[in-house]
Every structure is written in C-alpha cells, then in structure tokens.
Chain A
C-alpha cells in the first residue's frame, strides 16, 4: 500500500515537471503538427466488498462461501494532440492500469482453503483518432491488452467512426473484438487425472505429479495425498473466449439546455464462457464439479441518456438501460445523478442507481442442480436479484488550477452498493486531471 501511494506521488511530481516548460502564447493561429501532451489523467480507486455464496465454493451459504474482496486500482492516461498536413486533428491516447486484489474465495480454489488469495492485473491501452473538424467526421483505432497472473490474458482491438449531422446530432459506430485465453486452473480436487504423470502403477507408495491451482507441480503420495516435494511451474492448458461487439450511438442536442443519446450494442461471445475454478454441487452429491455453461452467448443492451441543465446551477443526468441475452438474463438499470454547482468551479454530485435482473436459465443455488441438467452454474452474478448503488462525488476545477496551474481538476467519488444476494461494497475513486 505504501509503495503504491509513493508511486502515485512520484507520478504527480513527474507530470507537473513535464508541464513546467513555459512557452510564449501563440497568436498566429498556427496548429502544431507535432504531437504534444494535451491532457493527463491519474485515476485511483479502492473497492471493498463483503459477500457470501461465492461461485468458487459452488454458492455454499456457509463459511466456505465467503466472497470478501478488496481491489486497489491505479491508472495513468496521457492524451497527445497534433495536426497532420491535411489539417486533421490527430489524438493519440495511451494508458496503463494496474489492479491489485485480494479475494477470500480465491483461497478455496485449493480445497484446503490455503490457495493464493491475491492477484495483480495489468492492462495497457492505446487509441488513435483522426478528426476532420471541417467535415465533422472521425475515424479511430484502438488496442488493449490485459494480463492477470495465472488467470487469463486478453487482447482487444477496435475501430470506430463518427459523423455529425446538420442539426447538432452525431452518429457513432464501433466494432470491438476481445480475444481472451482462460488459463484452465480447476479446483485442486478436480484436476484431471490425465494431466498427472503417474510414474508407477498405483500402489501405497506410488508418486503422482500434479499441477496445483497456482501452477506448481507437486509430487504426492497417490493414495494419501501427502505432499512429498514441490517442483517448478509447468504449463497449464488454456481455452479461448472470443467476444465481438458492434456498438452504435446517436446523440442529439434537443435545445439549449438538453441533449440525449441512444446506445445499442450487439455482442456475440463464443468459446469457454464459464470459469474453470467455479464449483457446482449437485443435489445428491457432496463432490463438486466445474460449472458448465453454453459456448455461445448473444447480448443486446439498449441504453438511453438524457442530460438537462436545470436553472443556472443544477444538472440532471438520467440513464436507463434494458438488457436481454440468450441465457435468459433480463435486466433493467436506471440511474439519476444531480450535479449541483455550488460555485462555477465546485460541484457536488449525489447519484442513485437501481438495477434488477432475472436469473439465467442455467443458474441454481447450492445443491439444487442435478446431473440431468445440460448446463449448470451457481454463480450468483447470474441469479435473480436487485441492487442499489448510491453516493456522491465532488469536483473542483478552478480556471487557475489547484496549487499548480497544470493541475486542472480534482474529482472524488464515493459509492455504496448493496444487493439482495447479501453483497455489500464500497468504492472510493480519485481523478486528477492535468493540462
């Protein structure tokens, strides 16, 4: 924790130094072709959750099902702007994020409960957009990579276009593909025997080499399970998960105080869509199996946004989403945020979000599924529940900066989330903007 805070402090000092060169104001209208730093954002957040009935323990309502999680996330995003010889604005945005999490349920990937409970995810991104301000059009390309130790890695690619209409509208389309590799870490008691190298015929003293949930090899006494020695890390098989999305949005200025948007996504996923360390317990058995979900999923969310500037000091930000997929999940999301401008440069934004979903066709609680079920999961993210998320944010953005003229804005946001599944969480986030 101390190392992370020192790292953030060093990043802030470095960014202020990067903006420290004073260049004279350019009044000639000349636009620099070279890419220059336009904006830098530092994002940091802390998430803490208490829950039970974790999917790793098959939805067990007992002590093994504790699903407490903490996540510390830090990110840096740098936006560079320049103009090409044709007078088009080029925007290059690079970012990197790092999440450090602890998860009580992760320890139960090993049936003893002593498995590794921490993890780190690193995810760099790169986006390039060309805007033709005369024509009101833009074209973009983006790439994303995410890696989580001993869990999965993902490559994402996207392309987008947008065009403005004559009447203050804008149409956008984006195609995205994520190509994930899920590392097949199964619960320790379910590691396939086929992956074991049996050195002799099974006897009382035979030795079996297996791959543990953390990827190490262990030599066990075949009959007693006694650990004889621990070896080096070996390769664990992985499965693919591919996700393709076509996203469309249309925004429209309605009047001097109101603007709205419609957002529609079509998503198709194929491959291994469950998680290999999620257990399911059948009704008549004390032994677990790995959850089994279909290898295809089609999603269709439709969202509406409406923002209205009420009076001189209050903004209403409303959002609604309807979601449907072919796994049986239907959901409604509605939220309202009300930024109140205490001064032109300081605002307070209370918000409230309500979410309700129906259960997937493949969900059942702990020890309800039977072997006759074709697909089965006890992951409560796919159950029927409702959730409420509420909190407030503050934003400070004086024209002369905060402390330094380059620290343009500070935003802090706190939210409290509760679900009818007994999940309760808190999130606090900080955003520093430098220009």
Chain B
C-alpha cells in the first residue's frame, strides 16, 4: 500500500478513536482546559520561531503561521 494511504488511514484512525470517546464537559469543569498554557494555537512568543523556520525550511503551514508569501521565504 502506498505511504500516502497509510498516512490517511492513520489520521482517520486517530480521529475515529478520539472523537467518539469525547466526554461532555461543563463550563465549570474547564478550569484546566482554560489554562493559558493549554491553548491549542501558537503563543505570541513563538511567532519569531515560525518566521525563521519559514525562511530556513522548505515547508510551512498547518501551525497558525504563514503558509507562503508575505515574506522573502518559501
């Protein structure tokens, strides 16, 4: 089987396993989830890391940063 097919199956397996097992969480139960370091996006202090990685590496995107253009990078 091609590598691309394996990757797609792995992704589907993670989503298929993770999503049905989600619990119902009330707002008052979200104290840990609302911690500032539990945020799912990049924090502002990581912005410069995304910049230099965009210049030095051949890939970009899927991390909240630029996916191409807007700079003299790839």
Contact = CB atoms under 8 A, between A and B. Distances in A.
Nearest to B32: A309
A301 B57 contact: no
A214 to B, nearest CB: 16
Contact of B69 (A178, A302, A347, A430): A178
Given A262-B15, A264-B62, A255 B68 contact: no
A381 B24 CA distance: 45
Which 8 pairs, one residue from A and one from B, show the smallest C-beta to C-beta distance? A243-B69, A178-B69, A303-B62, A301-B62, A301-B61, A323-B59, A265-B61, A45-B48
A173 to B, nearest CB: 14
B57 A154 contact: no
Interface string B9-21: 0010011001101
A302 B44 contact: no
A197 B47 CA distance: 45
Interface in A324-373: 325, 327, 329, 331, 333, 339, 347, 349, 355, 357, 360
Contacts of A315: 35, 37-38
Interface stretch (A1-9, A132-140, A411-419): A411-419
Interface stretch (A11-19, A110-118, A145-153, A283-291): A145-153
B5 interface: no
Nearest to B21: A254
A82 to B, nearest CB: 22
B70 A146 contact: yes
Given A247-B67, A265-B67, A321-B63, A347 B37 contact: yes
Contacts of A339: 37
A94 interface: no
Q: Is the interface of A mostly helix, strand, loop or mixed?
A: strand
A144 interface: yes
A304 interface: yes
Interface residues of A, number: 91
Contact of B70 (A71, A156, A382): A156
A151 to B, nearest CB: 6
Nearest to A51: B56
Contact of A241 (B14, B30, B62, B69): B69
A164 interface: no
Contacts of B14: 304
Contact of B18 (A242, A260, A417): A260
A355 B18 CA distance: 25
Contacts of B57: 331, 355, 357, 381, 387
Nearest to B51: A73
Contacts of A301: 59-63, 67
Given A152-B72, A178-B68, A381-B74, A254 B35 contact: no
23 contacts: A43-B45, A75-B47, A146-B71, A154-B70, A154-B71, A247-B67, A254-B22, A262-B11, A262-B15, A263-B64, A265-B61, A299-B60, A299-B61, A299-B67, A323-B61, A327-B58, A347-B37, A381-B56, A381-B57, A387-B57, A419-B56, A427-B48, A429-B48
Contact of A167 (B24, B37, B48, B63): B24
Nearest to A245: B67
A435 interface: no
Contact of A253 (B22, B36, B39, B74): B22
B2 interface: no
A388 interface: no
Contacts of A221: none
A323 B62 contact: yes
